[in-house]
Structure 1
Amino acid sequence: MEFTGAQVIKASRAEVWKRLNDPATFQRCLPGCEQYQQGDDGDYDAVIVAAVGPIKARFKGTARFTGHQEGIGYHIEGSGSGGVAGFGKLGADIRLEDVEGGTSLHYVAAAQMGGKLAQIGSRLVGSVANKFLAEFFSRFEKLVSQEASPGGSLATSAE
Structure 2
Amino acid sequence: MSRSSTRRSARVLTAGAACLGLLLGAAGATAAAAPQVSPAPGPGPTACAGVVRITAFAFHPSQVPPGQTSPAVLTVKNCTGVSQTVNETWLGRFSGSSTGAPSACPVLDPFLRPVTIAAHGTNSTSTTYSSPSGCTPAQLAVTVTITSQSGTQLAQQTAVLTFG
TM over 0.5: no
TM-score category of the 2 structures, normalised to the smaller one = 0.3 to 0.5
TM-score (norm 1): 0.33
Structure (1 or 2) with the larger CA radius of gyration: 2
Instruction: Give the number of the structure whose residues are more often helix, by fraction.
Output: 1
TM-score (norm 2): 0.32
Instruction: Give the number of the structure whose residues are more often strand, by fraction.
Output: 1
